[in-house]
């Protein structure tokens, strides 16, 4: 008797080619349902509809098609067990040799801006996961395929083994099927949780699954293995970015690029902005009248550290900006676009990685940190700071221009590793103190880097000043205004020192630690 294959797919990529090869080269009989059967029949290939095979019509508008003993008996039968073979014979059931199933496009559906709950629910597949799980469980006796990418390897395995697919291949396909259904269920559970939860609420249960996007050469260091995974079947974020040129991305590149995306998301595209990063910390951030001037100012903020850095821009790269970008060695550039003239200029730097990520604003909904025995989950720090809510706690009050500068500094310090200090003037960073074990050290580093340019500048601190020493150090360097969260029991000491020295001080009431 000919071998029997069940084909029931939502994504019909490669379907006809697979069906044709199964029938003409290997002599399979095919059974199929719904649109899959129509596609196979339209290609003039023999196929039996599931409803004709089972003797039961599709009901409930197609919701029930394959949930039938003649289908699941054929999938789950153990072909080396006499009792199972007797049950098949007594019930007129043929054993299946191949099950090819992919699922309703749930993630593609919920990715639509106008999706309704009813649309989402209707795209939850029931029969598909049941068949995949059954076939994966019984992989000792049949093969299960859940992706068009598996079709060619399966056919090659059939040819190489004279029609007997090796157990190791079937086991690999079973693993893929279980991961497929696991990620599918996780997407559904996450959607239902997100739609039912308050914006900042964290669920009682949470899972993370991903599909390997790429094997990376190594992790943070050459002795560490690493790979890049994307979540969901719809490539979004960095998985959906277009790499125009350059070497393959490394682990550290991707970590830096995400840090770059987060900082540029602070600056809407109504005015050009640029940032240069090293080791996830900004070494230069600036705004300008043009994108080229914004980049030049960010680069000039610390041209030593910019060497080998990551550049992020909030507008599409034009020719003038591209010309500026080729003036030094950079690892990566990312922007929401890149015009043809700019691409031609950047192409001269063949190893320079240039990426286009149209949406630089949307980041992950949760932040995950692995710890021994589990993980930590938190909402991302996407708080939008509003100077109207700040307290100006000193006698000296800021002008509109000074308040705008304080906001610029505050947006940058949010993305510097704690303890973080940022000195800025005219929408350009002048000095950055990052990741020090005490705030005094960060203040000293930032002010030393700013040097004489600190005269009339703004200093932002991601945490409060527990003593007035940093206030006095800032004043001595020429700082005009300070912005900090406040909240210390000794805030009055800092306020008193600021008043004594004629400084402006704002307390935001919001802390932005970055560990």
pTM score: 0.82
Does 368 map to a domain?
A: no
Does 377 map to a domain?
A: no
Residue 376's beta-bridge partner residues?
369
Same-domain check for residues 156 and 9? yes
Does 13 map to a domain?
A: yes
Residues 6 or more apart in contact with residue 386 via CB below 8 angstroms? none
* pLDDT of amino acid 197: 58
**What's the number of domains the chain is made of?**
3
| Catalytic residue, candidates 12, 20, 137, 349 | 137
Same-domain check for residues 190 and 240? no
Residue position matching structure tokens 């909904």: 365
Residues 6 or more apart in contact with residue 341 via CB below 8 angstroms? 318, 319, 322
Q: What are 217-225's contacts with CB under 8 Å, separation 24+? A: 217/248, 217/250, 218/250, 218/251, 219/251, 220/251, 220/252, 224/251
Same-domain check for residues 184 and 267? no
CATH of the domain at 139: 3.40.50.1380
Q: Say how many C-beta atoms besides its own lie within 10 A of residue 167's C-beta.
A: 10
Does 374 map to a domain?
A: no
Same-domain check for residues 125 and 249? no
Q: Which comes out higher in pLDDT, residue 1 or 400?
A: 400
Above pLDDT 70, what percent of the chain?
Answer: 99
Report the pLDDT averaged over residues 417-422.
96
Q: Which two tokens stand for residue 134?
A: 């059954």
Above pLDDT 90, what percent of the chain?
Answer: 71
Same-domain check for residues 55 and 98? yes
Following CA atoms 408, 411, 416, 418 in sequence, which dihedral angle do they give, to the nearest 10 degrees? 110
Does 229 map to a domain?
A: no
**What distance in Å separates the CA atoms of residue 84 and residue 501, rounded to the nearest whole number?**
90
* pLDDT of amino acid 198: 55
Same-domain check for residues 41 and 189? yes
Structural domain including 126 reads: 4-196
Same-domain check for residues 394 and 332? no
Report the pLDDT averaged over residues 10-35.
91
Does 109 map to a domain?
A: yes
Report the pLDDT averaged over residues 307-312.
97
The dihedral built from the CA positions of residue 305, 306, 307 and 311, taken in this order, carries a sign that is positive
Q: Which comes out higher in pLDDT, residue 81 or 284?
A: 284
Q: What is the rounded average pLDDT for all residues in the chain? A: 91
Same-domain check for residues 320 and 174? no
Structural domain ending residue among the three candidates 340, 356, 372: 356
In this predicted structure, which of 106-110, 295-299, 327-331, 350-354 has the lowest mean pLDDT? 106-110
Exposure b/e, 235-274, CB count within 10 A at least 16 = b:
eebbbebebbbbeebbbbbbebbebbbbbbbbbeeeebbb
> Is 137 labeled as catalytic in the residue annotation?
yes
* pLDDT of amino acid 345: 97
**What distance in Å separates the CA atoms of residue 14 and residue 30, rounded to the nearest whole number?**
15
CATH of the domain at 464: 3.40.140.20
Residue closest to 446 by CA, chosen among 463, 429, 427, 462: 429
Q: Which comes out higher in pLDDT, residue 443 or 164?
A: 443
| Catalytic residue, candidates 247, 279, 349, 496 | 279
Sheet with 48-49: strands ordered across: 48-49, 29-32, 4-8, 98-101, 143-145
Three-state secondary-structure class, residue 273: strand
Does 512 map to a domain?
A: no
Residues 6 or more apart in contact with residue 87 via CB below 8 angstroms? 73, 77, 93
Same-domain check for residues 121 and 44? yes
* pLDDT of amino acid 211: 83
**What distance in Å separates the CA atoms of residue 190 and residue 208, rounded to the nearest whole number?**
10
Q: Which comes out higher in pLDDT, residue 377 or 233?
A: 377
Report the pLDDT averaged over residues 466-471.
92
Structural domain ending residue among the three candidates 336, 356, 376: 356
Kindly report, residue by residue over 213-231, the tens digit of the pLDDT. 999 999 999 999 999 998 8
> Is 349 labeled as catalytic in the residue annotation?
no
Same-domain check for residues 328 and 400? no
Does 158 map to a domain?
A: yes
Same-domain check for residues 448 and 325? no
**Is residue 108 very low, low, confident or very high in pLDDT (cuts 50, 70, 90)?**
confident
Kindly report, residue by residue over 172-209, the tens digit of the pLDDT. 999 999 998 988 888 888 888 777 755 556 777 877 88
Structural domain ending residue among the three candidates 145, 166, 196: 196
* pLDDT of amino acid 200: 55
* 233 has pLDDT over 80: no
Same-domain check for residues 351 and 428? no
């Amino acid at each position: 008797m000919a071998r029997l294959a069940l084909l029931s797919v939502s994504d019909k990529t490669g379907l006809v080619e697979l069906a044709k090869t199964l029938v003409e080269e290997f002599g399979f009989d095919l059974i199929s349902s719904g649109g899959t059967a129509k596609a196979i029949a339209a290609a003039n290939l023999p196929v039996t509809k599931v409803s004709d095979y089972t003797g039961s019509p599709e009901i409930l508008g197609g919701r029930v098609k394959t949930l039938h003993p003649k289908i699941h008996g054929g999938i789950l039968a153990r072909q080396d067990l006499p009792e199972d073979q007797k049950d098949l014979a007594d019930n007129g059931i043929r054993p299946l040799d191949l099950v090819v199933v992919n699922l309703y496009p749930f993630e593609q559906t919920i990715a639509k801006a106008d999706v309704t709950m009813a649309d989402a629910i209707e795209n939850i597949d029931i029969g598909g996961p049941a068949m995949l799980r059954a076939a994966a469980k019984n992989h000792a006796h049949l093969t299960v395929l859940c992706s068009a990418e598996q079709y060619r390897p399966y056919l090659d395995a059939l040819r190489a083994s004279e029609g007997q697919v090796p157990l190791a291949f079937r086991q690999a396909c079973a693993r893929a099927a279980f991961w497929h259904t696991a990620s599918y269920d996780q997407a559904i559970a996450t959607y239902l949780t997100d739609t039912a939860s308050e914006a900042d609420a964290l669920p009682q249960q949470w899972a993370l699954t991903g599909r390997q996007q790429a094997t990376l050469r190594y992790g943070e260091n050459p002795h560490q293995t690493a790979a890049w995974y994307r979540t969901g079947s719809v490539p979004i974020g960095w998985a959906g970015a277009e790499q125009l040129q350059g070497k393959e991305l490394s682990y550290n590149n991707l970590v830096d690029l995400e840090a770059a995306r987060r900082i540029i998301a602070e600056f809407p595209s109504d005015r050009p902005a640029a940032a240069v990063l090293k080791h996830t910390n900004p070494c230069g951030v600036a705004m300008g009248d043009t994108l080229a001037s914004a980049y030049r100012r960010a680069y000039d903020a610390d041209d030593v550290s910019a060497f080998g850095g990551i550049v992020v821009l909030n507008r599409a790269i034009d020719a003038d900006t591209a010309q500026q970008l080729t003036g030094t060695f950079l690892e990566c550039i990312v922007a929401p676009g890149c015009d043809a003239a700019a691409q031609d200029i950047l192409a001269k730097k063949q190893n320079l990685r240039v990426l286009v990520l149209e949406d630089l604003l949307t980041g992950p909904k949760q932040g995950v940190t692995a710890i021994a025995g589990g993980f930590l989950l938190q909402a991302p720090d996407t708080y939008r700071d509003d100077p109207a809510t700040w307290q100006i706690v000193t006698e000296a009050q800021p002008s509109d221009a000074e308040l705008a500068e304080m906001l610029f500094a505050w947006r940058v310090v949010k993305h510097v590793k704690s303890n973080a200090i940022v000195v800025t003037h005219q929408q350009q960073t002048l000095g950055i103190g990052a990741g020090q074990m005490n705030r005094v050290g960060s203040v000293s580093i930032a002010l030393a880097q700013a040097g004489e340019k600190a005269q009339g500048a703004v200093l932002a601190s991601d945490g409060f000043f527990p003593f007035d020493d940093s206030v006095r150090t800032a004043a001595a360097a020429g700082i005009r205004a300070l912005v900090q969260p406040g909240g210390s029991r000794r805030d009055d000491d800092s306020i008193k020192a600021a008043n004594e020295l004629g400084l402006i001080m704002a307390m935001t009431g919001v802390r932005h630690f970055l560990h």
